[in-house]
Amino acid sequence: MRPAGSSRAGRTAFSLSFGDVMPSKPCAVPGCRTVVEVGTVRCKRHRSVSDVPGKRGLPSGGWHGQAGNRHERGYGAAWDRLRIAILERDKRLCVLCIRSGRPVVAHSVDHIVPKSKGGTDDLDNLQSLCRPCHAAKTAREGSAAQGALKAEAQPSIGPDGRLIIPRDWGFSIPRGVRPSAIPLTIVCGPPASGKTTWVQERAGSGDKVIDLDEIKVRVGGVRYDQRTGIFRKAMAYRDMMIRSLADDVSGKAWLIVTAPTKAERLMWVEAMGPRSELMVIDAPEASCIERIRADAERAEVAAALIAAVRRWER
């Protein structure tokens, strides 16, 4: 044991006493500058579960990679085995470089939708990347996360009771979106028009389906959940899935949106690029309303959904 103030190899050790002052650090959420006490991971605004002082608690599905060691973040022996399997599946080549016609050795396995945004370890959410591509994607996601936090600064509630978050494109098109690299069918229509059923009848087993109502279930809610926390988490997950289409290399994608105005439908096609097409499910208003009233699962939001059907621009 060496006393405080002693030195070795020219270095000095100091003993600090904080007294009544509690050490602090920034919130772990990218872009948030709120100061929190040491032993706490996130500020009150970004704490989806209670933090226990002295422990590195993680919210379910949120901000993995921002706290704890690799095992606490879910990167233990099981992840090591999965990583090897994904590298072998992709022939140990970077999928983004292959798309550009350059065979480059992959060293990293990446979550297409990051775990911090609710992404899973499902095989279709994992891809092999070289170090430069992985670093570039991580940097883009960091910028997108900061932009998303700014977008959420002044949310409002729409006439149908849904949470509206300001966006660069307007409407519900996410920030930072780039054209899809794979064929994308944008399916729009009023509530209860049969959009989900139409897609289910046509999507292949390896296709990517982006359906906000299904995502709500994945993040812990129910299909027609309008709670602000669930809606915000589901929108973040959906937006990340949409952004990931720019980096996909195979398969097809299906995006289900309401897009109540003709202007929004055209804007979606423009935003998603030349590989996207628009499919409008223009079911009769009376049929949509009848389905809503007959569906017990929609009972709590029936009035809002019926109002949305009547406002949908034909």
pLDDT grade for 273, boundaries at 50, 70 and 90: very high
Confidence of residue 253 (pLDDT cuts 50, 70, 90): very high
Residue 275 has pLDDT above 90, yes or no: yes
For the stretch 192-201, pLDDT in tens is 999 999 999 9
The enclosing H or E element of 188 equals strand 184-188
Percent of the chain with pLDDT over 70: 66
Identify the pLDDT of residue 287. 96
**For position 41, what pLDDT does the model report?**
65
User: How far is Cα 231 from Cα 105, in angstroms, rounded to an integer?
Assistant: 39
**Listed range (84-88, 146-150, 291-295) with the worst mean pLDDT:** 146-150
Percent helix, strand and coil across the chain, each to the nearest 5: 40, 15, 50
Q: What is the pTM of this model?
A: 0.51
Q: Higher model confidence: residue 10 or residue 265?
A: 265
Mean pLDDT score across all residues of the chain: 75
Distance of CA 183 to the CA centre of its chain: 21
- Ranked by mean pLDDT, which of 12-16, 60-64, 92-96, 141-145 comes out on top? 92-96
Q: For residues 148 and 120, which has the higher predicted lDDT (pLDDT)?
A: 120
| Rounded Cα distance, 230 and 224, in Å | 10
Please check whether residue 306 is in contact with residue 192, taking contact to mean a CB–CB distance below 8 angstroms: no
Strand 208-211 relative to strand 253-257, pairing: parallel
pLDDT value for 74:
57
Residues sharing a CB contact under 8 Å with residue 94, sequence separation 6 or more, in sequence order: 104, 105, 106, 128, 129, 130, 133
pLDDT value for 46: 63
Tell me the C-alpha distance between 289 and 150, whole Å.
Answer: 36
| pLDDT at residue 174 is higher than 50 | yes
Using the predicted structure, report yes or no on whether residue 299 has a pLDDT greater than 60.
yes
Mean pLDDT across 262-276: 90
Q: What are residue 108's DSSP bridge partners?
A: 129
Q: What is the pLDDT of residue 121?
A: 83
- pLDDT score, position 8: 42
Mean of the pLDDT values across residues 236-245? 91
Where residue 37 falls among pLDDT bands split at 50, 70, 90? low
User: CA 299, CA 162: separation in Å to the nearest integer?
Assistant: 16
C-alpha triplet 292, 269, 162: angle, nearest 5°:
35
Which residue is it, tokens 């993680």? Answer: 58
pLDDT of residue 31: 58
pLDDT at position 115 is: 76
Nearest to 277 by CA among 190, 179, 175: 179
Mean pLDDT of 298-305: 88
What ranges do the domains of the chain cover? 1-72, 77-146, 154-311
Residue 10 pLDDT more than 50? no
Average pLDDT over residues 158-162: 48
Question: What's CA 268's distance to the chain center, in Å?
Answer: 18
More confident residue, 116 or 47: 116
Q: Higher-confidence residue: 38 or 140?
A: 140
* Fold for the domain defined by 154-311: Rossmann fold (3.40.50)
Convert the pLDDT of each residue in 76-131 to its tens digit. Answer: 788 888 999 999 998 999 888 887 778 889 989 998 877 776 677 888 788 899 88
